[in-house]
Structure 1
């Protein structure tokens, strides 16, 4: 599966990112990539993106990560709304807390509703 995502480069406390196309998105973040299609510096808010190559890789079936999708939408390379990039992690934690709380409330429910 092809994935377009950010690859962190730069010094400690001075992040900058390359926008890269990778073969397997579960691999190491500093691993090999097929093509570098742009860069992003969040501290200076500078973006350089090769829009033609982005459209080419998306036409080949590459999936775009949520953060990169938001960058492409803000640069008007692709149409659509921005995605909530942090919702996946928050959703998992909320489900875990719900499971834990359900287990703790069962004895309390038996006492309150005999």
Structure 2
């Protein structure tokens, strides 16, 4: 998951960074790896009114792969991106936007 503001910052940094070997590689831009269980726990805690709509126990059992390990070192080294908007803020904003659309 990436916040659109971090994506925009990464694009600007990539456009203004001098050419380096390996520049043809893609940049992984993300604050951290996370699991779907972490998402559900965050939503359950911060949006308790939705708890009946969220998956219950054994969430990890329902998914094959529960996280995607990310290597952000290339982006750190080349672009200097060391700080990101917290994934929790992004996840809650995405949920809130989806709920607004749902009401339409």
- Report the TM-score when normalising by structure 1: 0.19
Q: Please identify the structure whose Cα radius of gyration is greater.
A: 1
Q: Which has the higher contact order (CA 8 A, sep 6+)?
A: 2
Higher helix share: 2
- Report the TM-score when normalising by structure 2: 0.20
